Amino acid sequence: MVDDVVLIDENDPVLESDFVKEIVRQMRAVDTYGTYDKWTFAKILEPFILTKEMKREIPIIGDPDEIIISRIKVFYNAIAAMIEKECGLMASPVINITYEGFGRVIVIVGKLVVLDKNLRDVHRFGFQNLSKMKDEADKILSIALEIIGKHSTAAGM
Closest CA to 72 of 126, 7, 128: 126
In a domain, 64, yes or no: yes
CB neighbour burial string for 18-42, b if at least 16 within 10 angstroms, e if fewer: bbbebbbebbeeeeeeeebeeeebb
- Per-residue pLDDT band at 130 (split at 50, 70, 90): very high
Q: What is the CATH number of the domain that holds 96?
A: 1.10.3100.20
In a domain, 3, yes or no: no
> Is the overall model pTM greater than 0.95, yes or no?
no
In a domain, 135, yes or no: yes
In a domain, 2, yes or no: no
- Per-residue pLDDT band at 16 (split at 50, 70, 90): very high
In a domain, 5, yes or no: no
Q: Which domain holds residue 72?
A: 13-155
In a domain, 88, yes or no: yes
Question: Domain tally for the chain?
Answer: 1
In a domain, 8, yes or no: no
Q: What is the pLDDT of residue 3?
A: 52
2 pLDDT more than 50? no
